[in-house]
Homo-oligomer: A and B are copies of this chain.
C-alpha cells in the first residue's frame, strides 16, 4: 500500500475522501451489515424479539431436543450467553427446557407450538425486511453474495 497523503488535487470546495478504510472489505462488510441488521431488528421488534433471540429460537425450532451447548456452537456464541436468551424464551413459553434422563447435566430444548408460530411469523417479516435492502441485487447476485460470504467464513474455520 502506497503511503496515504492528503489528496492535494485542485478540486474546489471541501471534497472529502474516506481513508484507506473505504477500500477495505471488512469496512464495506460492516456498513452493509448495519443496513441489513437494522432492517431485521426493526422487523423482529414487532414480535418483541431481538436478533440473537430470534436466531436461537430459529435454531431450536429446526433442532428439537438440542442442548444449549450445541446451540451455542451452531450460532458461534458463548454457552454462557445462551442462558439469558433461553431463560427469556422459556419464560415466554416459546421454548421448553427438559432435563435429559440419560445425562442429567444436559437440557433438551424444544420449541413449543407457540414458539413455532411466532418463529414462522417473525421469519417471514424479517425476510421481507431484508428483501427491501436487497432490491438492487438480482436473485443470482443475492445467491452469489451468500455463497461468497460463506467462502469467507469458511476460509478461517475450515
User: Which A residues have a C-beta under 8 Å from some C-beta of B?
Assistant: 1, 3-7, 16-21, 23-40, 51, 54-55, 57-64, 66, 70, 74, 76, 116, 119-120, 123-124, 126-127, 130, 132-137, 141-142, 144-146, 148-157
Contact = CB atoms under 8 A, between A and B. Distances in A.
Contacts of A30: 33, 37
A139 B156 CA distance: 19
A30 B74 CA distance: 14
Contacts of A152: 32, 35-36, 133-134, 136-137
Given A124-B1, A148-B145, A29 B20 contact: no
Contacts of A37: 26, 29-30
Contacts of A29: 29, 32-33, 36-37, 149
Given A1-B127, A19-B57, A25 B64 contact: no
B116 A153 contact: no
Nearest to A24: B130
B17 A63 contact: yes
Contacts of A157: 35
B58 A127 contact: no
Nearest to A1: B124
Contacts of A3: 116, 120
Given A4-B120, A24-B130, A25-B145, A33 B35 contact: no
